[in-house]
Amino acid sequence: MSSVDGDHSIISRLDKNLVHKICSGQVVVTLASAVKELLENSIDAKSTKIGFPTFLVDVLIIEIRLRGHGSESIEVIDNGVGIGEEDFESLTGKYCTSKLNTFDDLSCVETYGFRGEALSSLCHLAKVTIHTCAFDAKIGTKLEFDSSGRITNRRSLARSQGTTVCVNQLFYDLPVRRRHLTDPNRLSKEFAKVISLLTAYCLVCVGVQISCSRVGKKGELINVISNGPSISLKDNIAAVFGHTQRQVTGFSLLSTYVNQSNATQNVSYKYIGMSRCTTSGYYHYEYQNTGCSTNMSGHKKY
Q: What is the pLDDT of residues 144-164, one digit of tens each?
A: 999 988 999 999 999 999 999
Quote the pLDDT of residue 295.
Answer: 46
CA distance 167 to 144: 11
Pairing of strands 208-215, 221-226: antiparallel
Quote the pLDDT of residue 56.
Answer: 44
Residue 120 has pLDDT above 80, yes or no: yes
Under CATH, domain 16-301 is a member of which superfamily? Answer: Histidine kinase-like ATPase, C-terminal domain (3.30.565.10)
CA distance 166 to 171: 14
69: left (phi over 0), alpha (psi -120 to 50) or beta: left
Instruction: Choose between 101 and 61: higher pLDDT.
Output: 61
Q: Give the CA-trace dihedral at 279, 284, 285, 286, to 10 degrees.
A: -160
CA distance 98 to 264: 23
Quote the pLDDT of residue 16.
Answer: 62
Q: How far from 184 is each of 17, 174, 207, 236, 256, CA to CA, in Å?
A: 31, 18, 35, 32, 45
Instruction: Choose between 162 and 231: higher pLDDT.
Output: 162
Lowest mean pLDDT among 49-53, 186-190, 204-208: 49-53
Per domain, the residue ranges of the chain are 16-301
Quote the pLDDT of residue 107.
Answer: 47
Reported as a pLDDT band with limits 50, 70 and 90, residue 206 is confident
277: left (phi over 0), alpha (psi -120 to 50) or beta: beta
